[in-house]
Chain A
Amino acid sequence: MSICVNNLSCKIGRKEILKNISLEINVGEIIAILGPNGSGKSTLINTISGNLKKNSGEIIINKKKIEQINLKKQALIRATMSQSHKILYDFKSKEIIELGWIQFNSSNFSEALKKVSVECNILDLLEKNFSILSGGEQQRIHFARTLIQLYNDFRDEERYYFFDEPSSNLDLSHEMTLFKILKQKANESYGVLIALHDLNLAYNFADKIAILKKGKLVHYGTPEEVLNNKNLSEVYELPIRVNKDERMIKYY
């Protein structure tokens, strides 16, 4: 079982943002979407999450077309973290995480909350007011909220996580923690799709890389196949060198 995206095109207004994208998200895998600003990474995630209507092509989740799966069911099999936004009224961090707990019964929420807080190392933030947290702390709370969405008893089907630049505000150590959690989620046989800018993280953690440029999928494959001097230099229009021995990518 997997998510299959076939020939997906998407327009916002008159502008075509995605052009004939095809890719597959398998459980147990991390797929990283790379690409310059405005290349369509967020639009791709929004479309697969059901927020945006596609113009043509199909999105098939666990052998069913996305249009045939109702909203509540979709929310039980995939969780999406978007680039974060402000929350107007005062909520405690714990309450924000609870909003992700859609299989609502109070009996086992506290258990799931404990698990996710230990995983994400946010125990000290739970009782704090969300709006006074720093940008990075807020991002970690949103990350935990996204994780807990799929900590439910719905195990009949394969489940997926989508992340849109989840570590944009995080320091190095928290970023590393986050990627280790993603790796672990893939090992627990979730499918993981992540849009990001850090080529080194993608190189080291992703099983597959998809590179978008101007709405087109220009490269798709394993990090070894895709990330090489020529491809990267072309996409980012900047001299880039891949050091395979140290698994490092350098830009000049």
Chain B
Amino acid sequence: MNKSYFFNLKSKQKIIILVLIFTFLFSLITGFWNGSYDLEIIKFFKNELDNIQQFVLKKIRFPRVILAAFVGSSLALSGACLQGLFRNPLADPGLIGVSSGAALGAAFSIVLGSEIIVGGYLKTFLLPLSAILGSVVVIVLLSIITNGFKNSNITYIILAGIAINSLAGVGIGFLTYISDDAELRGLSFWSMGSFEGISWNLIIPSIIMILITTLWTLTFARKLDIIQLGENDAHRLGVNIRKLKINIIISSSIIVGVSTSLVGMIGFVGLVVPHLVRLLGGSNHNYLLIASILFGSSLMIIADLISRTIIQPAQLPVGLITSAIGAPFFLWLIYNMKRK
């Protein structure tokens, strides 16, 4: 609503954000210079790297780590927005089915994309666009089921998410069955959730889309705070609820859809990060959204680093790492909810 709102952070929150910025820079640098192929920082600045080392750094490491940062920030940001909008601590793009909707959309374009004849330039956008479409369909479906999110009862949405997840599973299973060898290969690599095989020309359009949407999403901070009072009270305070819902649906679908289309389904980041950030410094969204972005991207860079170094020279799917961190946290959350 007002630009000055973002500078109205409490001093504790300013410090947290500063620390998170340093954490982010640290993980970025660690991500760049660590991996199965040895690189030395000093040699890069002295310009002593040979051609292969240059190639590894510029064409493989840089895009991979930067994409990890954007994907992490997208998942965390959309988790924070959905948790705020639904007033539901369990809202996570994975749990409520948005990610699997995106996955189904992406699978469609991998398997059936070759049948559709489109121009070369449009073809690069086919995968992210169909993934976005998939997540839009899921959120619209959720909105219909919950009567415009009026029935934002926790169990209700999670149950709907379970149903949607298994429906999408059916779709993806069917597509796997009818795909030929090449398509199957693409599908199974992609669905494990991994940052392998990322290149600049693949990620630049997506990064631009995520960046613009993220900046747009940050402008909803104040409205997300006000909606915590309930929809009726928020309406009386001048918030157009319908418009806010549509905006958040669109922005979440874009960032989750684009991320999923590139790296597959990565669970629990959207759920865990906003909760940790709330525990650190408070629930006001001007702080929450920015801190979630920083935290989410750092977490994802580190998770990706672990995934590609832990069993060198092979790689684990990064989704495995995030689930290994996230699932116990999820259990702790449920345990805590019961005590409240």
Contacts from A to B (Cβ < 8 Å)? 46, 49-51, 71-72, 74-76, 78-80, 82, 85, 87-92, 95-96, 99-100, 102, 104-106, 149
Q: Which of B52-60, B181-189, B234-242 is the contact stretch?
A: B234-242
Q: Are B237 and A106 in contact (CB under 8 A)?
A: no
Are B236 and A49 neighbours in the complex by a CB distance under 8 Å? yes
**B229 A90 Cβ-Cβ under 8 A:** no
Q: Complex Cα distance A96/B234, Å?
A: 12
CB distance from B82 to the nearest CB of A (A): 13
| A88–B91 CA distance with the chains assembled, in angstroms | 13
A102 to B5, CA, bound (A): 11
* B226 contacts A89, C-beta separation under 8 Å: no
B237 and A88 form a contact (CB under 8 A): no
Question: With contacts A90-B278, A102-B237 known, is A51 near B229, CB below 8 A?
Answer: no
Q: Which residue of B lies closest to A96 (CB)?
A: B229
Q: How far is the CB of A72 from chain B (nearest CB, A)?
A: 4
Task: Please name all residues of chain A whose beta carbon is closer than 8 Å to the beta carbon of B229 when the two chains form the complex.
Answer: 85, 87, 96, 99
Q: Are A105 and B4 in contact, CB atoms less than 8 angstroms apart? A: yes
The docked-state distance in angstroms from the alpha carbon of A72 to that of B1 is 11
State the Cβ distance, A47 to closest chain B Cβ, in Å. Answer: 12
Could you list some 27 contacts between A and B, CB below 8 A? Answer: A51-B236, A71-B239, A74-B236, A74-B238, A75-B237, A75-B238, A78-B236, A80-B236, A85-B229, A88-B87, A88-B88, A88-B228, A89-B228, A89-B278, A89-B283, A90-B278, A90-B283, A95-B282, A99-B228, A102-B237, A102-B238, A104-B1, A104-B4, A104-B222, A105-B4, A106-B8, A149-B237
Q: How far is the CA of A99 from the CA of B230 in the complex (A)?
A: 12
In the complex, residue of chain A having the shortest beta-carbon distance to the beta carbon of B284: A95
CB–CB B226/A50 < 8 A? no
Within 8 A of A (CB), among B213-267: 222, 225-226, 228-230, 232-233, 235-240
Contacts of A80 in B (CB 8 A): 233, 236
Contact partners of B2 in chain A: CB under 8 A: 104-105
Contacts A88-B89, A99-B225: A82 and B233 contacting too (C-beta < 8 A)?
yes
Count A-B pairs with CB separation below 8 Å: 67
- When C-beta atoms are compared, the residue in chain B nearest to A95 turns out to be B284
On chain B, the residues within 8 Å of A49 by CB distance are 236
Give the complex CA separation of A79 and B8 in angstroms: 24
Q: Is the CB of B283 within 8 A of A72?
A: no
The answer to whether B235 touches A50 (Cβ under 8 A) is: yes
Chain B residues whose CB sits within 8 angstroms of the CB of A104 once the complex forms: 1-2, 4-5, 222
A88 CA to B229 CA, complexed, in Å? 9
Report the nearest A residue to B239, measured CB to CB: A71
Choice from A89, A95, A100 contacting B237 with Cβ under 8 Å = A100
Contact of A106 among B4, B228, B233, B236 (CB under 8 A): B4
Which one of B1, B88, B225, B240 has the highest number of Cβ atoms from chain A below 10 Å of its Cβ?
B225
The reply to whether A91 and B237 form a contact with Cβ atoms under 8 Å apart is: no
Interchain CA distance A82-B278 in the complex, whole Å:
27
**Residues in B neighbouring A85, C-beta threshold 8 A:** 229-230
Pair B282/A90 contact, Cβ less than 8 Å = yes
Inter-subunit contact B1/A82 (CB<8 Å): no
CB B9 to nearest CB in A, in angstroms, measures 11
Residue of A nearest to B222 (CB): A104
Residues in B neighbouring A88, C-beta threshold 8 A: 87-89, 228
**Shortest CB–CB separation between residue B66 and chain A, in angstroms?**
31
Shortest Cβ distance from A80 into B: residue: B236
Instruction: Give the 3 A-B residue pairs with the shortest CB-CB distance, closest first.
Output: A75-B238, A89-B283, A72-B238
Residues of chain B from 266 to 324 with CB closer than 8 A to chain A in the complex:
278, 282-284
